[in-house]
Chain A
């Protein structure tokens, strides 16, 4: 199980029927659906691929972390005595 972004990239607003199908899908938990064209869900990758394959105009992407870019040098290891 992992977290994935489901996003509608077709023209216009995301079809209500698609949103309803995603919310009702088995073996998938909707974590956040407060966006009009995107949801955050928890599911297995296989289940997600299967679902998105049947929803034209939708893409998926695994949730990942992006760090603040920091230009300051950092030690990689401590000195020996």
Chain B
């Protein structure tokens, strides 16, 4: 390999383990069959029009069968962009089931005396000093060790925290309002009872990272595209038009696909499709799309089953969604969700998934599945006020424009396809508007950008709903991405636009 550190993958067609006759005629099929012919010394294959992308063919069942290949991580994104309907399964090594050894675990050590020493903080609006209720206050006396306490403010804007001292020094204090304000971050703060934290009210015409990179969007952008949001449901909101959907949580009313009490899906939906106009409302990247809500999180729950997610993807495909947004993930790979994503691709739909927020850890599942388009989160200095929590998300690498950065919380890796703004994003929220951060926000930004691109490609949308269609859609979206200079392990093909 020209680049060191190649990884082994089993290369498979979109479905099954052998290229079927109809698929052999598609672009990915021609590529597949040509691999053997292109094979150079020691199995090295240089891919045309894919700078830096080369692979080593180590073994092949036959011309149509599965192939064992070695690919440098940095070249993986380029290969996936050019051959989007190939499945690349990392090779797995199985070990004997040796019993685990006993390990010492750190024990929580808060004493009764410490718990009794509580500090009362007050959260207010910077505009008029009025109390901010239901704000999450997270205080750290030792940030590195994550030692601290958290709580929510009451109707008076007050919260009591057990911080082990009457006047503790906080390394960091995070205040996350539920909505309508910017979250705040204070460092090295000595707090005393009645210490007050003033939050900056949200202005809907503020140029956040989303608006910085995409500007203002015309009302009809995205028309003709159907987008499914698989999430916590979408609340009724003056800026949102919900075309339909389904609640796939077992045991709940399937027609209840509104917000489950978490607000997450409503925020995601607004990034894609909000139809408001600042300063009275907000607008997403593709306000003309037909927006559908598939609720997979139960009422008041922050957990969803793989069954509900799988069923929601199926339903979105059956309802004709061109794009399916998954701002969720984590845990081990799941065969059922993989099968649903594979089914979506075979029916002409694209699944776009969040890379995860574990801070430079590997891309989480299902974004890590090769048939999903994985999105990392980036941000830009100057698109959030000083003193907000977004300042803690700034981290290297920086882009060609040194104000751009990959969010500190974003997962990274060769599975990435795109990056998009996910730091300090203003969007719709039940009962108003909120600022959230995460690859959960970057993912719908990529989905919205994809919808805007595809709405202008009637010749692709009119294709029969099969794998050739989804391959063409993926090529169109990935082909428009623009590198920001972070490197493919951080941004895939670059900014979705």
Chain A residues with CB below 8 A from B254, complex form: 34
B277 interfacial contact with A, CB 8 Å = no
B 1-49 contacts with A by CB, 8 A: 15
Chain A residues with CB below 8 A from B109, complex form: 77-78, 80
C-alpha gap A68/B314 in the complex (Å): 20
C-alpha gap A60/B496 in the complex (Å): 35
C-alpha gap A8/B115 in the complex (Å): 54
Please give the residue numbers on chain A whose beta carbons come within 8 Å of chain B beta carbons, in ascending order: 3, 5, 7, 9, 11, 31-32, 34-38, 40, 59-61, 63-81
C-alpha gap A15/B348 in the complex (Å): 23
C-alpha gap A77/B142 in the complex (Å): 10
Asked whether B306 lies within 8 Å of A78 as measured between CB atoms, the reply is no
List the 7 closest pairs (A to B, CB-CB), nearest first: A78-B110, A79-B164, A81-B114, A71-B409, A75-B148, A71-B357, A76-B146
| Residue from A9, A32, A38, A66 in contact with B329 in the complex, judged by beta carbons closer than 8 Å | A66
Asked whether B250 lies within 8 Å of A32 as measured between CB atoms, the reply is yes
Chain B residues with CB below 8 A from A40, complex form: 250, 307
State how many angstroms separate the Cβ of B175 from the closest Cβ of chain A: 11
B 318-349 contacts with A by CB, 8 A: 318, 327-332, 334-336, 339-340, 342-343
Chain B residues with CB below 8 A from A11, complex form: 15
Chain A residues with CB below 8 A from B305, complex form: 63-66
Asked whether A61 lies within 8 Å of B306 as measured between CB atoms, the reply is yes
C-alpha gap A23/B375 in the complex (Å): 39
Asked whether A76 lies within 8 Å of B336 as measured between CB atoms, the reply is no
C-alpha gap A11/B340 in the complex (Å): 13
The chain B residue sitting closest to A69, CB to CB, is B357
Asked whether A78 lies within 8 Å of B148 as measured between CB atoms, the reply is yes
Chain B residues with CB below 8 A from A80, complex form: 109-111, 114, 164
Q: How many interface residues does chain B have, given as a range? A: 35 or more
If over half of B's interface residues share one DSSP class (helix, strand or loop), that class is named, otherwise mixed; here it is: mixed
C-alpha gap A22/B147 in the complex (Å): 51
Asked whether B232 lies within 8 Å of A68 as measured between CB atoms, the reply is yes
Chain B residues with CB below 8 A from A32, complex form: 250, 307, 311
What would be 18 A-B contacts, judged by CB atoms less than 8 Å apart? A5-B306, A38-B307, A64-B305, A66-B306, A66-B328, A67-B302, A67-B303, A67-B330, A68-B328, A69-B354, A76-B146, A78-B110, A78-B149, A79-B147, A79-B149, A80-B111, A81-B113, A81-B114
Asked whether B146 lies within 8 Å of A74 as measured between CB atoms, the reply is yes
State how many angstroms separate the Cβ of A68 from the closest Cβ of chain B: 5
Chain A residues with CB below 8 A from B328, complex form: 66, 68-69
Apart from A7-B336, A77-B147, A81-B113: 18 A-B pairs, beta carbons within 8 A: A3-B307, A7-B339, A11-B15, A35-B314, A36-B318, A38-B311, A38-B314, A63-B307, A67-B303, A69-B440, A71-B438, A72-B136, A74-B150, A75-B139, A78-B114, A79-B142, A79-B149, A80-B114
C-alpha gap A16/B439 in the complex (Å): 41
B 154-209 contacts with A by CB, 8 A: 162-165, 168, 172, 174, 176
Chain A residues with CB below 8 A from B214, complex form: none
B143 interfacial contact with A, CB 8 Å = yes
Known: A78-B114, A79-B168. A73 touches B140 (CB 8 A): yes
